[in-house]
Structure 1
Amino acid sequence: MTETPPSPSRWGLTFPLDGIPLGAQRALVESLPDLGFTDLWSMETAGADAFTPLALASVWAPTLNLGTAIVPVHTRGPALLAMQAAALAEAAPGRFSLGLGSSSPVIVQDWNAVPFEQPFQRSRDVLRFLRAAFTGQPVTEEYDTFAVRRFRLDRVPAHVPPVLLAALRSGMLRLAGREADGVILNWLSPDDVRTARAEFDAAAGPDHGKDVVARIFVCPTEDADYARALGRRLIAAYLTVPAYAEFHRWLGRGDALKPLWENWAAGDRKAAAASVPDAVVDDLIVHGPAGRVRERLHEYVANGVTVPVPALLPVPEQGAQALASAIKAVSPA
């Protein structure tokens, strides 16, 4: 076993945790700094919204950095998004980062009744609008995907939040490098980080110092069969989304995942999940005992992630002790 390298200066956790009422997570959040965590990053799919849990955490643990990973660029109007981000930045001065992303047709169109159109252009336009809005000056602008007339943000935070962009392939990675304050990565292996960073860094320029945040799915259990079965179901659900499918073709997994996509297209969900090779699961889902989990997380850091953000998956064991052990397993200690 190789020696674990030093932790980066920041280390996150995906929040809130599943299976526990949000209001009951205060003690857990308060304990995180003692375990070495510096960050909490929320997400927004079909559970909690991205902002409310972080508003609570801003009071519960006033030293933690907070971030959204991610807020979809289609599901809020530009002005509302600016106001929500500014409010959280005011509640957690200097500790909040706004992570944006294009999300997916299911979340945007099927669930929120908003057309999923021009995701690259919409992401770029929202990013540019927020830059203008956070100055506190009136914004009247015709963007490619929307127009804003005479909007002025009344409560400009003293610490304007960094704006990060979720990115998969070259176009969005380079946009993040050029115009955002950092990039958010998802569903990739430690080796894949090098591929993504090459595109991001090429656009950001030398010595850019921008954040590279990665959400990393972790199942801290020694039951490899359990972890792989869970991982196959998640991979089947996520990597059949067109943007993620193209991402993994770009990363070189086209042949390995071809049976998944063919079975999914044929409507055989069970066969689709079963067709995902162990090697792909092991690439994309961190699992094993605590020591192996930490080693794997540090591989992401060694390859260029500046803020690793483990996302805990359910483990076979139940109860408070199992949860505490899982959190400790993904801590930097």
Structure 2
Amino acid sequence: MSRGTVSIGLAGSLGPDAVAQIAPSVEAAGFHTLWINDTPDGDALAALAAAAGVTSTLRLATGVIPVDRRPASEIAAEVASLAVPLDRLTVGIGSGMAKAGALARVRDAIAVLHDAGVPRVLVGALGPKMRRLGAARAEGVLLNWVPPTEAAAQAEALHGVDADSHVAVYVRTAIVDAARERLAAETARYASFPNYAANFARMGVDAADTTIRDVTELGDALEAYTAAVDEVVLRAIVPDDTAAAYIEFVRRTGPTPL
């Protein structure tokens, strides 16, 4: 279990070619893991396979693949067909939009992936039951849209279920003025979803309180989050989805100056 680990998250819609341009900078900047979210217009595993081909030590993760849209058997088959290096891979999964049977669906998916030889699975989870499932059956949990104090409380509870459970947190991050409008739009979009709105209400925070909105906030936020969890994933929000914009974000936020 690592402490103080900082990783980076990119949009799956960027595609493999752009990710292959960005990944060497991510590795050179000292980030622990490159996380790619999976969307209908962005195959995370294809992007990670492209990143694997241009890096040597950078860890690779999906954050997260909804198993109501992409069954675990399909995920495992794609991992094998793309030859994504298993020693560098974390497959993050979530229940997806379908509420009925969510816990059973994720529990079964974890078993299928493990049986297929995927050694490291993390579960994207909002509620306590799904979080406990990730700690008990998978290798850990990916938290999302939580402030540092709540992340710390959830991590403590999960480490109580399994001391070796890995707890990571996605933190939307904008470091330039031109990206703040996009961050505000994404924040408002998530705050409009009933499950996220209910979660923000339970925590007693505004959605914006779970983001980093300026480069001047970065140092204090990282100190708070890295003290709370095992891995902080800076989900990069940039002015436009170009490789150059993401590389500049990497240059300004990476542990190792470029």
TM-score, normalized by length of structure 1?
A: 0.68
What SS does the aligned partner of 1:209 have? coil
1:129 aligns with 2:53: no
Contact 1:104 1:241 in 2 (8 A): no
- 1:88-143 Cα offsets, whole Å, 9 max, x none, are 5x4314111111101225xxxxxxxxxx5321221122223333x23xxxxxxxxx
Cα deviation for residue 217 of structure 1 reads: 0.5
Code of the residue aligned with 2:89 in structure 1: it is F
From the superposition, tell whether residues 24 and 162 of structure 1 become closer, same or farther in structure 2 (CA, over 3 Å).
Answer: closer
1:284 aligns with 2:207: no
Cα deviation for residue 54 of structure 1 reads: 0.4
Q: What is aligned with 1:328? A: 251
| Structure-to-structure mapping, 1:66-215, within 5 angstroms | 66-87=60-81, 90-105=83-98, 117-131=100-114, 133-134=115-116, 156=117, 160-204=118-162, 208-215=163-170
TM-score, normalized by length of structure 2?
A: 0.85
Cα deviation for residue 250 of structure 1 reads: 2.4
Give me the whole-angstrom Cα distance separating, in 1, the residues matched to 2:155 and 2:112.
25
1:11 aligns with 2:6: yes
Give me the whole-angstrom Cα distance separating, in 1, the residues matched to 2:111 and 2:16.
33
Code of the residue aligned with 1:95 in structure 2: it is R
Give me the whole-angstrom Cα distance separating, in 1, the residues matched to 2:124 and 2:78.
19
Q: What is aligned with 1:310? A: 234
- Share of identical aligned residues, percent? 25
Which of 55, 58, 66 is the equivalent residue of 2:52? 58
Runs of 5+ unmatched residues, structure 2 = none
1:31 aligns with 2:31: no
**CA-atom RMSD in angstroms:** 2.7
Give me the whole-angstrom Cα distance separating, in 1, the residues matched to 2:111 and 2:197.
28
From the superposition, tell whether residues 329 and 188 of structure 1 become closer, same or farther in structure 2 (CA, over 3 Å).
Answer: farther
What SS does the aligned partner of 1:70 have? strand
What SS does the aligned partner of 1:214 have? strand
Q: What is aligned with 1:300? A: 225
Larger gyration radius, structure 1 or structure 2 = 1
Runs of 5+ unmatched residues, structure 1 = 1-6, 106-115, 135-155, 257-279
Give me the whole-angstrom Cα distance separating, in 2, the residues matched to 1:72 and 1:323.
25
Count of matched residue pairs: 254
Give me the whole-angstrom Cα distance separating, in 1, the residues matched to 2:50 and 2:106.
27
Cα deviation for residue 67 of structure 1 reads: 0.8
